[in-house]
A and B are shown apart, each in its own frame.
Chain A
């Protein structure tokens, strides 16, 4: 009773150890703090071990790529050299990914801010329907968008262009942006806008000068989430583009055959994978608090 800041699994010390085998609070209490530490380490290993293996493998020489030691016996940048040896155009693919993902994000944000403002701050009929429709569109399977648009884009000569990847990407980017931004904007106090309008601002000025700066953190979070989703996009880029000079990094990496055909260049694949992932991991490390906030705010309104 003395511990007030308790959570479910830290109740009475006299637990019934071993009565439950599932990872329940009771089970947790039974195993105590050491068990909990083990569980937390297990989670970290679960999440990081494959990623670690990708990094380690990328630093092995191609001759000892099948070694299973925890660290490379001989560190080597051979795989990275192979990635950029010119035959794969991987640098170009990274640049393409950057262009497509940032353009998609920019468009989604602009459209999303207006739509979210309307949904979060204005009164109009069918608001629920409007939000439901926008969220509903994000449930569309990518392939249902890709097949018809592939034909349309072939007809108008858009195959192997950036816009052929950017426009379909908006089908998931805009709903994502609208949903996130709506949640953020709903949380801002109404009094501030009202005060600004009492002071003589128009509704537009109140939006631009008061609401938008306040929503900036939310907009930033939405930008990160949208960018990550666009950067990771695969099926649209795979279908709309077959020219290696235009394709994005995720597609380039899946088609990675390297210089030698007789054996898949696993080292180079891992090195390329690290290069595609590292920017995201850095973003995640820096902005993890915001990302978690953005990811969970939708589900826990």
Chain B
């Protein structure tokens, strides 16, 4: 009995007597347990990364060179592929894809966050049929993106249901802005409920007393939403938005199925890279995928360092503590309950 109680406060550090021996043992055991995962990840992530970088320095030439000789195989071109991409004859196609990727990402994620928060607010109260609503909110999330692409392609037909309901004659699945709008609508439909779900979960761990206290202090509902709900769901929302951003930067399935490949108005970086590799231009394709990877990495880095998205779950107490003042007395309950959670995470 006494053992368990004395160990309790320091349970995440090992008992002091055996520290050295146990740490060594645990370290080794951890290494052993983690090695299969890292071995597989080395094969399916690290190797592709290095290989893509390597391949991006080569150009595959199968055709006639300047002197009329048939050239086969790869030629080392250094950063030539990158130069070609940024300033070559096809640079316009790259910049277009880069713009599309960025445009889709920021419009869809913005719309998803707004709709998702609205959904969470509407659902943040017990009502009959809540479980049913939660199940229905999972349906768009569960539908494979390829199927949702087909589904929206069908609904966006010239004489399809969308044109009928809106009483218009728009050719959604051709080219141009209508096609972009179709992709955005389909993407937002699929993922906004997911954000709503995450925000709702964040809202439900906010204790009632926080709102009670704010109400006593005379804060109206809008004030409460801005000063309590939003700051306290911020950590959950940031993680959700980060993952959505990264997901949407690599968007492929939806424009591919909904509109089709090689359509300039919806061509994303992923589709461009895929198209190049499909034509056996591995060098250029690799260069595209490296550029996309760097883009994703920069966005993730900016998001994590500047906005403090807490993905690993290590610095949890900080954002809540910083907000103690704005969330009024009862908010200390939130912070007080925090250490017990974070203790486990370390």
Q: Is the interface of B mostly helix, strand, loop or mixed?
A: helix
Question: In the bound complex, do residue B147 and residue A266 qualify as a contact, i.e. CB atoms below 8 Å apart?
Answer: no
Bound Cα distance from A4 to B160, whole angstroms: 50
Question: In the bound complex, do residue A253 and residue B147 qualify as a contact, i.e. CB atoms below 8 Å apart?
Answer: yes
- Please encode chain B, from 210 to 230, with 1 for each CB lying within 8 Å of some chain A CB and 0 for all others: 011001000011101100110
**A295 closest partner in B (C-beta):** B197
Question: In the bound complex, do residue B221 and residue A141 qualify as a contact, i.e. CB atoms below 8 Å apart?
Answer: no
Among A6, A23, A190, A291, point to the contact of B138 (Cβ < 8 A). Answer: A291
Question: In the bound complex, do residue A128 and residue B250 qualify as a contact, i.e. CB atoms below 8 Å apart?
Answer: no
Question: In the bound complex, do residue B134 and residue A292 qualify as a contact, i.e. CB atoms below 8 Å apart?
Answer: yes
> How far in angstroms is the closest Cβ of chain A from B260?
10
With a cutoff of 8 Å between Cβ atoms, the chain A residues found around residue B40 in the complex are: 107, 111, 170, 174
Binds B, one of A82-90, A129-137, A209-217: A129-137
Question: In the bound complex, do residue A281 and residue B142 qualify as a contact, i.e. CB atoms below 8 Å apart?
Answer: yes
Count class of interface residues, chain A? 35 or more
Bound Cα distance from A43 to B119, whole angstroms: 7
> How far in angstroms is the closest Cβ of chain B from A166?
10
Binds A, one of B31-39, B62-70, B321-329: B31-39
- Known contacts being A140-B293, A144-B292, A299-B198, is A250 close to B133, with CB within 8 Å? no
Among A9, A231, A284, A301, point to the contact of B316 (Cβ < 8 A). Answer: A301
With a cutoff of 8 Å between Cβ atoms, the chain B residues found around residue A140 in the complex are: 45, 49, 293, 296
With a cutoff of 8 Å between Cβ atoms, the chain B residues found around residue A5 in the complex are: 208
B4 at the binding interface (Cβ < 8 Å): yes
Question: In the bound complex, do residue B142 and residue A284 qualify as a contact, i.e. CB atoms below 8 Å apart?
Answer: yes
Bound Cα distance from A44 to B41, whole angstroms: 39
Bound Cα distance from A142 to B345, whole angstroms: 30
- A-binding residues in B (CB < 8 A): 3-4, 7, 11-14, 22-23, 26-27, 29-31, 33-34, 36-37, 40-41, 43-45, 47-49, 51-52, 55, 118-119, 121-125, 127, 131, 133-140, 142-152, 154-155, 157, 159-161, 164, 189, 193-194, 196-198, 201-202, 205, 208, 211-212, 215, 220-222, 224-225, 228-229, 235-236, 239-240, 246, 249-250, 252-253, 256-257, 269-270, 273-274, 277-278, 282, 285-286, 288-290, 292-293, 296-297, 300, 311-314, 316, 341, 344-345
Among B122, B228, B277, B282, point to the contact of A28 (Cβ < 8 A). Answer: B122
Among A137, A171, A270, point to the contact of B151 (Cβ < 8 A). Answer: A270
- Known contacts being A141-B296, A151-B282, A270-B154, is A254 close to B140, with CB within 8 Å? no
A228 at the binding interface (Cβ < 8 Å): yes
Within 8 A of B (CB), among A165-217: 167-168, 170-171, 174-175, 178, 183, 186-187, 190-191, 194-195, 198, 203
CB-based closest 3 A-B pairs: A296-B201, A141-B250, A148-B51
- B-binding residues in A (CB < 8 A): 4-12, 15-16, 20, 23-26, 28-29, 36, 39-40, 43-44, 46-48, 50-51, 53-54, 57, 66, 68, 107, 110-112, 114-115, 117-119, 122-125, 127-128, 130-132, 134-137, 139-152, 167-168, 170-171, 174-175, 178, 183, 186-187, 190-191, 194-195, 198, 203, 228, 231-232, 234-235, 238-239, 250-251, 253-254, 256, 266, 269-270, 273, 276-277, 280-281, 283-285, 288-289, 291-292, 295-296, 298-301
Among B26, B43, B293, point to the contact of A167 (Cβ < 8 A). Answer: B43
